[in-house]
Amino acid sequence: MTDVGMRALAAGIAILSAAASSIGEGLLVSKAIEGMARNPEMSSKLRSSMIIGCALVETCGIYALLVAILIIFVM
């Protein structure tokens, strides 16, 4: 494999991490909404935990995208 091919492979693996984080974020939101529907008194606590969790998952996806861009253009 050439150097360019290895870069493309590494960037693709990094983007897979971003795709997995978006799947995880969707699952997080769906389970939080399901919990709010089952127990309406806990909706404010679930909402705040969901927002913190979404922020953490989203930063993981952004870091994976940043790593992919660095692999392609810098290395």
Render 19-33 in DSSP notation, one character per residue: HHHHHHHHHHHHHHH
Model confidence band, residue 4 (pLDDT cutoffs 50, 70, 90): confident
Q: Give the separation between CA 67 and CA 32, rounded to whole angstroms.
A: 30
> Which among 15, 24, 10 has a CA at the least distance from the CA of 62?
15
Amino acid symbol at 28: L
- Can you give the pTM of this predicted structure? 0.72
Q: Give the separation between CA 73 and CA 44, rounded to whole angstroms.
A: 43
DSSP E strands: which ranges in 7-75? Answer: none
pLDDT digits (tens, 9 = 90+) for 33-65: 999 999 999 989 999 989 998 888 888 889 988
